[in-house]
A and B are shown apart, each in its own frame.
Chain A
Amino acid sequence: MYNSLVALASMGGLGIVLSVGLVIAAKMFAVESDERTEQIETALPGVNCGACGYAGCRSLAEAIASGKAPVNGCPVGGLAVAQKIAEIMGTITEAPARKVAQVLCKGGCEEAKQRAEYDGPKNCRVMNIIQGGDKACTYGCLGGGTCVEACPFDAMYMNENGLPVVIEEKCTGCGKCVEACPRNIIILVGEEYGVHIRCRSHAPGKEVRQVCQVGCIACRRCEKECPVNAITVADNLAEIDYDKCTVCRRCVAVCPMHTIEAQEGKPEIPAKIAG
């Protein structure tokens, strides 16, 4: 009986001493933090993808709480998250511009010429270092699927043709695939734009024809056809200026290589023509 009482008293005493010590320490080492930071952090998606440009959700929460970042700074969470944060901060907001990833290469196993058998690791960065992979085109997709692996939202997959496909409903525009691609063929584009020149080859037209059935040969037909001068051909490659593009699809019709592609469900943006 006596023993158990001593045990109880000593352990209880130890616990109380430690907890009092911790309370004092907590007061001494108290760090003043904005309580809104915590609230904002819980409202954010919490995947720490870095699409906002900050190191993680915590950093963005701190930046928003201190007014350094806008309340709609999280492109992943979209309007729902922006509104929640706006409520915490006591302001109103509009939806952040949503961007989705676009793969600018159409040269899969069928269209692009293969120049060698590749039997190494299925990783684009490795393939890029080892003689630039197995395809003859040195600008296009390597087909290793590193972008798919990098996607934290399962918004990409490799199709049977060996090309990555973006599932736009799932894509949050975090840019992880853009970083992962050693060939820089993935870009982030505002989701409303539905016309893309899916080639990044700066090789002369003749060379492109030799290695790929769907590459840009820089024939300039799209440049001439575009009513708003959104397309320019420079260094053997047509490029689209999305700020000017009205998604009229005229370039798609004239492209002889079918490099320019129109996506369904993205209508023309007529407002821009007037402006």
Chain B
Amino acid sequence: MEYLLLFVATVLVNNFVLVQFLGICPFLGVSKQVSTSVGMGIATTFVMVMAALASWLIQHFILIPLGLQYLQTLSFILVIAALVQLVEMFLHKSIPGLYRAMGIFLPLITTNCAVLGLALNAMLRNYNLGESLVYGFGAGVGFTLALILIAGIREEIQFADIPKPLKGQAIALIIAGLLSLAFSGFAGMI
């Protein structure tokens, strides 16, 4: 029950993109089509779960015993980057179709601040391993949800008669703002 609550809270109430404003770059960059945003969302979710696991291990077996918590940011970035590389190699070898479909998104996840934010947040809140994993998964699902929502809307407005100065990224930012406003309605639910 506790885990379920944490999951819902991470997906909706504290949505990484729309409430905490993390990972805005892929949110605007890869949200023109629903199909690509689904791929990006799944890849990010996978990396987030792996990052939650790896960062927890680093924190509890290296940083805390040595009293080096102030090196969290550095070590987490290192681990996440290595992890993404590993995932990329693995996909290239075993599932080349998926590798090609994801293309440039995969290496881009390395620089997605939502992944780093997740690792740092989980440590800040002193989650245990199970909670960290659920938190990571929830963050990924929330990210995917936000991405699909905005991609769906952007597909719908493609043929709309948008005033010229607002075309492209400008209207996307306005949509993002409105979506964020909508998600603020979940505040205080849990």
Contact = CB atoms under 8 A, between A and B. Distances in A.
A7 B82 contact: no
Contact of A123 (B66, B74, B94, B159): B159
Given A26-B89, A29-B92, A15 B71 contact: no
Nearest to A122: B161
B99 to A, nearest CB: 9
Interface string B62-75: 10001110010011
Interface string B54-84: 0000100010001110010011001100100
Given A22-B86, A121-B160, A126-B159, A7 B93 contact: no
Interface string A13-33: 011001101100110111100
B90 interface: yes
A15 B66 CA distance: 16
B62 A14 contact: yes
- B-side binding surface: helix, strand, loop or mixed? helix
Interface in A118-163: 120-121, 123, 126
Interface residues of B, number: 22
A10 interface: yes
Contacts of A7: 66, 68, 71
B86 A31 contact: no
Interface in B114-170: 159-161
Given A6-B68, A7-B68, A7-B71, A18 B93 contact: no
Interface string A25-43: 1101111000000000000
Contacts of B92: 29, 31
Contacts of B62: 10, 14
A121 B82 CA distance: 48
B105 to A, nearest CB: 15
B68 A25 contact: no
B85 interface: yes
A11 interface: yes
Nearest to A59: B100
A122 to B, nearest CB: 8
9 contacts: A7-B66, A10-B68, A11-B71, A11-B78, A14-B62, A14-B78, A22-B86, A25-B90, A29-B93
Given A10-B68, A25-B86, A29-B94, 14 more contacts: A3-B67, A6-B67, A7-B68, A11-B74, A14-B79, A18-B79, A19-B82, A25-B89, A26-B89, A29-B90, A121-B159, A121-B160, A123-B159, A126-B159
